[in-house]
Amino acid sequence: METTKALYAGILFCVFYASQIVLQQFFVKSTIFPLHLDFLTNLSAFILLTLYFMIFKRDAFKIKLNKKSFILFLAATFLWILADVSSIFGLKDSSSINLSIISRLQIIITYFLAVMFFGESISKNKVIASVLSFIGGLIIVYDFQTGFRINPGDILFFVFTVTISLSGLIRQKVTTHMSALQMSYLMFGVSSAVLGAVTFLFFPIKSVTIPGFIILNSVISLVGFIFVNASIALGGATFFSIVSSLLPVFTAILSFIFLKQLPLFTQVIGAVIITLGIILFQKNENRKSNISRRNST
């Protein structure tokens, strides 16, 4: 039952996040400075959640974290802020389709981070799956017309994928102490404070008005982020990474509808190779799970 809920939460995340990055690509290339978009979106989401808690769920303000959990929460939040900023600035030079595909390397990166920091065992099939996924990612970002020149936006998408993967692993250890909604609220709050300080010190906003598209982006971001934390809490970071492999599908559809963009041939080939790597990775996970189940009976 928990896995089913995690699956639904992951799919809904894909729908909302695909909508968000398509909107963000349009606005950062035509209307607003990326950092301003990120700050105003997170601030608006934080204000909306505050109002919701005050009206409907005041008990949600009662959050108790021990010292270790608080430190883990801050680490996860600052990694998420770095990931968020990287993805939005990346959209300035690259595309929402590339972001959705490259970010699917998250499952492989999550595995290697788990090996490095959380004692996960090394598997031959998982290493092969990782190599396949890396090749797929390279095909997506490689410029076959001008030689080995990678779009700076795609480099930022790789930074996003690494930092969001590590943040997810850490968040998994904090969700036992607070709900997905409470974690989303605190993370938006810390992000608003950090990005607000950077904005006002180095990139001041000339007008304090919040356009309608910022509110729309905030609502989409808020709902999608709640589904992320819910899926991680219910199914774990690795399971969420697998389900979120559907993201490129929704992004391609929405990019075509709103931006009139179709995936390039290299993007399709790269996405197929990454998907094959993920399938191989998951087969190894299923086999390991079946062996453990047999041994326990």
CA 41 to chain centroid: 15
Element (H, E) at 114: helix 106-118
Q: What percent of the chain has pLDDT over 90?
A: 22
Q: In sequence order, what are the beta bridge partners of 111?
A: none
Model pLDDT, residue 173: 81
Q: Taking 60 as the threshold, does the pLDDT of residue 129 lie above it?
A: yes
- Tens-place pLDDT, residues 81-117: 999 999 999 999 888 888 887 887 777 787 777 777 7
Cβ contact 101:270 at 8 Å: yes
Q: Which residue has the higher pLDDT, 19 or 252?
A: 19
- Token pair 């031959």 is found at 124
Q: Taking 70 as the threshold, does the pLDDT of residue 297 lie above it?
A: no
Cβ contact 24:217 at 8 Å: yes
Q: Taking 70 as the threshold, does the pLDDT of residue 285 lie above it?
A: no
Model pLDDT, residue 238: 66
What are the residue ranges spanned by the domains of the chain?
2-123+149-262
Residue 207's CB: how many other CB atoms inside 10 A? 7
pLDDT confidence band for 256 (50 / 70 / 90)? confident
Q: Which residue has the higher pLDDT, 80 or 183?
A: 80
pLDDT confidence band for 46 (50 / 70 / 90)? very high
Model pLDDT, residue 217: 85
Cβ contact 226:175 at 8 Å: no
127: tokens are 């290493």
Residue 2's CB: how many other CB atoms inside 10 A? 11
- Tens-place pLDDT, residues 139-193: 766 656 655 567 789 899 999 999 998 898 888 888 778 887 888 899 999 999 9
Average pLDDT over residues 194-211: 85
Half-sphere exposure of 281 (CA within 13 A, CB side): 28
Q: Taking 80 as the threshold, does the pLDDT of residue 271 lie above it?
A: no
Model pLDDT, residue 58: 86
pLDDT confidence band for 213 (50 / 70 / 90)? confident
